[in-house]
Structure 1
Amino acid sequence: MATEYSPNDDVAQLFQELFSKYLNVAALAAFLFDYFLTLSSEVHHVWGRKWEISRIIFTTSRYLPFIPSAIIVHSVFYGQKCDTNNIQDVIYNVGIVSAELILVLRTYALWERSRRVLAILMALGVVFCTAAMVIRTKVTFSLPGDSEWPYAWYSYGCTSPTWRNSAFELSFLMAFEIILQCMNTWRKFRTYRDVQSQTLNTLYWDGIMYMFGVILLTTTNVAVIAAAPIASIPALETAQVAIHSVLASRIFFNLKECDERIRGGGAEPDISLDTLRYRSLSVGTSLSRVEHSV
């Protein structure tokens, strides 16, 4: 039996849809604003430099999210052809993975460029991605009222009851980010608590604020997808990929600025961050010199 909707229900559903639309617009606007705000840092630290692995990862995480962000904003207003949804998902996920790789590089730096740590994190990332995709395709998660939702109302063209399954993917992403933050915190207070280093403090404390923002955003998005009405599900879709890019870029710039400040001849004995250059010089060697000088 079809469910009858009262005028109040219609108004509530319309408000949810409008809220979702304009929240995506706000996220795209914030993304563009931060891009131009940090463009001078990119010009200084990235442009004209050699195309290394770190620069490729940064460029991908910095620019690729503009594509799905624009598509999402267009889709929530004008609808979307379902046959392009898979392409959008691939671009969207690659953008987030690239941002996560920058977070991995930060952890790699704090762990003295340990290849074992890097290999474990990369393997863990692959396992989490595979598990998320398998669960999303094999398990259908929905709320009791989802089947009664008037899908024809909704302008976001590919709405379906399986939309909530993306909460599984984001849950694995959230778990991975929490693992990274726990590793960084343990490393800072277990290994470097007696090291007086401005660079190390910047690398850790600035990074922890950005990481907290990323984890908070992912957690909120999981809650929205899992519990909110269907019209509100895409509310944070642009924010998820855009804010990941913004915060990962700022972590990258912080690493570069710390490295540049020390290479410029600072008076304080400090740590040289060659991690993102992938050269043979080990951060561990520099750390050993610092520890002996304290």
Structure 2
Amino acid sequence: MISNTYGCSLLSVSCRWITYVCLWALPNLCAMPVPVSTSLWFLWDWVITIDSEVEHFWGKPITIGSTLYFANRILGVIGILLHGAAWVLPIGVTGAACKPVIFTYLVISDLSTTVVQTVLALRTYAVWDCNRQVYLVLMGLNIAASLVQQGLNARNLLPGKVTATPNPLPVPYDGCLLVFHTGTWHRFVPIVIFEFTIAVFLSIKFIENIRNGKTNRVLYILFRDGFIEFITVTVGSILCLLTGAASWGNTHSMSLIILDATTSISAICCARLLLNIKDIM
């Protein structure tokens, strides 16, 4: 009887707190549906694949694959927490925390993209029968893209590059609102170049394999899952580039919203590729 009473009381308190949190964050959730939905998708995918993760990576020797897998997952969670603090939780439109939180999120997002592109580079390296030259070209472009992105992040922290602004949204919103005075499209150019190079290498090898009738389960997974991941990153990056150029100086550039979706979805595809390869090996 005592335990039942305690359980009911605990449930009641929990429900009240959940209600308070939902009412507190609801306006911001309505204002930013894309970051919220893609973040929930990322977390749900992790939940439904945790059994495969435990089977293939937990307690196993550390490898490049396991390192990339956990880096991909952990960076994704950190990005979600930072994005939640900046856009979902009401910490004040012009709060002093807005700028460092947003840019820490951008740094984490760029690192996540670097991890995903490393997996794509290794996938292409495997498809090309472990061709060292292909790997060096792709990793060189990947590192260059990462350096450019982090350099732009550092530049945007300088005075006058980004400022807070009052809320222009039609819904009640008191999360972070920033204006990027120098635009956001530059950061996506090296990613698009990397993805275009990947497309060239894969197209050549795909045509070659079709002509030679070369196929097996591993190649099928590498092409199928890798292609989905590649399309996600490529389309997202191109949209970010175009919208970033078009919305120069606008509040919460659409490119940043697309960046959030691209980062979360590509992280899901990256994890699935690594898990599916483990399933057949």
Question: What's the TM-score once normalised by structure 1's chain length?
Answer: 0.69
Letter in 1 for 2:277: L
* Counterpart position of 1:227: 246
Within the candidate set 68, 75, 93, 1:64 is matched to 75
- Relative to 1, partners in 2 of residues 1:83 and 1:201: Cα closer, same or farther, differing over 3 Å? closer
Residue ranges of structure 2 left out of the alignment (5+ in a row): 1-27, 157-161, 169-173
Structure 1 partner of 2:268: 246
Higher relative contact order (CA 8 A, sep 6+): 1
Q: Deviations over 1:220-240 (max 9, x none)?
A: 233333324534534234323
Taking every aligned residue pair, what percent have the same amino acid on both sides?
20
Distance 1:172 1:189, change over 3 A: same
Distance in 2, matches of 1:64 and 1:220, equals: 22
Q: 2:134 aligns with which of 117, 124, 139?
A: 117
TM-score by length of 2: 0.72
Q: Whole-Å Cα distance in 1 between the matches of residues 110 and 220 of structure 2? A: 31
Q: CA RMSD in A?
A: 2.9
Alpha-carbon distance between aligned partners in 2 of 1:73 and 1:170, rounded to the nearest angstrom: 23
Deviation at 1:133, TM superposition (A): 5.2
CA deviation vs aligned residue, 1:93-146 (integer Å, no higher than 9, x gap): 22221121111111111111122222221112223334455567779xxxxxxx
Contact 2:243 2:253 survives alignment (8 Å)? yes
Equivalent residue in structure 2 for 1:35, among 46, 51, 63? 46
Matches within 5 A, 1:63-82: 63-77=74-88, 78-79=90-91, 81=97, 82=99
| 1:183 corresponds to 2:201 | yes
Moved over 4 A (4+): 17-20, 131-139
Structure 1 match to 2:10: none
How many residues in Structure 1 have an aligned counterpart in Structure 2?
234
Where does the alignment leave 5 or more consecutive residues of structure 1 unmatched?
Answer: 1-16, 140-146, 261-294
Cα deviation for residue 192 of structure 1 reads 5.6
Per-residue CA shift, 1:5-25, capped at 9, x if unaligned?
Answer: xxxxxxxxxxxx876512111
Q: Is the 8 A contact 1:64 1:95 kept in 2?
A: yes
- 1:153 has 2:167 as partner: yes
Q: CA deviation at 1:179?
A: 1.7
| Structure 1 Cα separation of the partners of residues 251 and 225 of structure 2 | 36
Distance change >3 Å, CA 73–CA 224, structure 1 → 2: farther
